Amino acid sequence: MHLSELQCGNHAEVVSFDSGERFYRQKLLAMGLTPGTSFKLIRVAPLGDPVEIQVRGYSLSLRKAEANILNVKKVVAACDNSK
């Protein structure tokens, strides 16, 4: 699935990158979006560009072109039954 298929508040994990422009892949890797990295979709602009995610303790805004090369899987948060 692609980042654009998630809804605000969803948690996901980076699985891989689509083949595309090498520049975008390198840029995403440099920003910490490596395979296996978890993140949360914070908000999406009204026209879908940009999207804001929270990853590794900071907020990151991505344009559609950058976000569309990310392959992600949705992660379901575990319930806290300690109460």
**Total structural domains within the chain:** 1
Instruction: Provide the token pair at 24.
Output: 């975008």
Tokens of 78: 């575990």
The alpha helices in 1-83, defined as continuous H runs, are 22-30, 64-67
Separation between Cα atoms, residue 4 and residue 48, nearest integer Å: 8
Asked whether residue 83 is assigned to any structural domain, the reply reads no
- With a cut of 50, say whether residue 14 has pLDDT above it: yes
More confident call, 83 vs 50: 50
What pLDDT score was predicted for residue 83? 47
Asked if residue 69 belongs to a domain, the reply is: yes
Rounded to a whole number, what is the largest CA-CA distance in the chain? Answer: 48
Arithmetic mean of pLDDT over the chain? 85
* Burial bucket for residue 54 (CB in 10 Å: 0-12, 13-18, 19+): middle
The whole model's pTM is what? 0.79
Q: Which domain holds residue 58?
A: 3-75
